[in-house]
């Protein structure tokens, strides 16, 4: 809670013979933001929790830190935009109110979420000459896809290697084939989510095969 002081009414001395009443008073105001994760690439608005402004319009201006690219804090202290980064972003902002004296600094954070990709049917240990056909499973984890663009996926082996005889379909993420060589093989598969607003690399998946 922070204190702002309202301004006393000004007298128009040339127009009025005198001036009385009015005065100033203290406002004890609070501004906070609920924990409301927003979805990458989707237009979103986060509304603040406000109290104590007593009819005065609130005003906020960012003064430190960083909001996710594509989002900004508005005059009325709401946060809006289309985020193109994933993570938690902490920023500082200055709060004031119309027709009051003073201001105060506050901090908040915005969390942007994205889906996660895994291989639910993946078996680590396989026999040589046994067919493998693993389809990636996409867990939204609260992420809501944008409605005004097409969402596409792509996959690549970012490091390591699949077992000989296996291949990764770059468009579908399916790992398929028949292992031909015994050994322990680890490939880091990198999924990429793309829209007309940009692309983002999601959390990579460690795909391990022990062929024997």
DSSP per-residue letters across 107-151: EEEEEEE--EEE-TT--SEE-TT--EEE--EEE-TT----SSS--
| Residues 43 and 127 placed together within one structural domain of the fold | no
Please check whether residues 105 and 170 belong to one and the same domain.
Answer: no
Mean pLDDT of the chain, nearest integer: 88
- Is the same domain home to 99 and 15? yes
Q: Work out the angle at residue 14's Cα, subtended by the Cα atoms of residues 9 and 19, and round it to the nearest 5 degrees.
A: 35
Taking residues 101-120, report their average pLDDT: 93
pLDDT for res 22: 52
State the Cα angle at 170 between 164 and 172, rounded to 5°. Answer: 110
Q: Which of 86, 113, 140 is the last residue of a domain?
A: 113
Task: Decide if pLDDT at 8 tops 80.
Answer: no
Nearest 5°: the CA angle 47, 49, 50 is 115
Domain boundary among 113, 137, 167: 113
Question: How many structural domains are present in the chain?
Answer: 2
Last residue of a domain, one of 84, 113, 142: 113
**Do residues 133 and 179 both lie within one domain?**
yes
Tell whether 127 and 193 lie within a shared domain.
yes
Pull the structure tokens for residue 143: 């992420």
Looking at residue 21, what is its pLDDT?
Answer: 46
Among 102, 85, 205, which Cα is nearest to 155's?
205
> Which domain covers residue 132, as residue numbers?
116-211
What band does 120 get if pLDDT is binned at 50, 70 and 90? confident
Q: How confident is the model at residue 7 (pLDDT cuts 50, 70, 90)?
A: very low
Q: Is it the case that residue 10 has pLDDT exceeding 90? A: no
pLDDT of residue 123: 86
On whether both 108 and 21 belong to a single domain, the answer is yes
């Amino acid at each position: 809670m922070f204190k702002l002081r309202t301004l006393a009414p000004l007298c128009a001395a040339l127009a009025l013979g005198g001036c009385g009443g009015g005065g100033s008073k203290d406002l004890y105001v609070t501004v906070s933001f609920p924990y409301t994760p927003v979805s990458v690439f989707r237009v979103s608005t986060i509304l603040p929790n406000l109290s104590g402004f007593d009819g005065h319009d609130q005003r906020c201006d960012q003064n430190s830190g960083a909001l996710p690219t594509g989002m900004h804090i508005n005059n009325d202290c709401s946060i809006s935009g289309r985020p193109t980064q994933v993570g938690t972003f902490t920023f500082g902002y200055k709060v004031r109110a119309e027709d009051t004296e003073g201001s105060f600094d506050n901090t908040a954070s915005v969390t942007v979420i994205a889906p996660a990709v895994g291989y639910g049917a993946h078996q680590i240990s396989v026999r040589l000459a046994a067919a493998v056909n693993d389809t990636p499973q996409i867990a939204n984890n609260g992420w809501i896809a944008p409605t005004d663009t097409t969402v596409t996926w792509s996959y690549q082996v970012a490091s390591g290697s699949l077992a000989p005889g296996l291949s990764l379909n770059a468009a579908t993420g399916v790992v398929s084939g028949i292992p031909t060589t015994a050994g322990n093989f680890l490939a880091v598969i990198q999924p990429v989510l793309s829209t007309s607003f940009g692309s983002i690399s999601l959390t990579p998946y460690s795909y391990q095969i022990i062929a024997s």
